């Protein structure tokens, strides 16, 4: 059985939600998952490659951005398609700017 424990924090700014999640998985689960994804046949023929790592955990972090209310975005897109004044492009630009900034700073402590 594959097990993941998640600890999530959510923030909202304007119409954008930011979810920061810390995911902890026992290392043997991570090893098993990677083996299944990449080298299932090899693991089957060489069962010693799957090892018990005595309770160690693999910790990863995930960051998700999403529009809180996509109906607002869709309404602005309809306005744009009809040639009316619209905030669609601005909304998408703000979203992408946030993603770019977070991506650029993601590797820094």
Q: What is the pLDDT of residues 27-45, one digit of tens each?
A: 665 555 554 444 444 444 4
* CA atoms 70, 76, 10, 63: torsion sign: positive
Q: Which one, of 96, 77, 95, lies nearest residue 85 by Cα?
A: 77
Global confidence as pTM: 0.63
pLDDT tens per residue across span 81-105? 999 999 999 999 999 999 998 888 7
């Amino acid at each position: 059985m594959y097990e993941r424990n998640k600890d999530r924090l959510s923030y909202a700014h304007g119409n954008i939600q930011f979810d920061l999640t810390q995911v902890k998985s026992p290392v043997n689960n991570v090893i098993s998952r990677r083996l299944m994804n990449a080298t299932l046949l090899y693991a089957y023929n060489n069962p010693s490659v799957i090892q018990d790592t005595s309770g160690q955990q693999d910790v990863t972090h995930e960051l998700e951005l999403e529009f809180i209310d996509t109906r607002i975005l869709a309404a602005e897109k309809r306005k744009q398609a009809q040639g009316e004044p619209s905030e669609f492009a601005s909304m998408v630009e703000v979203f992408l700017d946030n993603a770019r900034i977070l991506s650029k700073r993601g590797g820094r402590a």
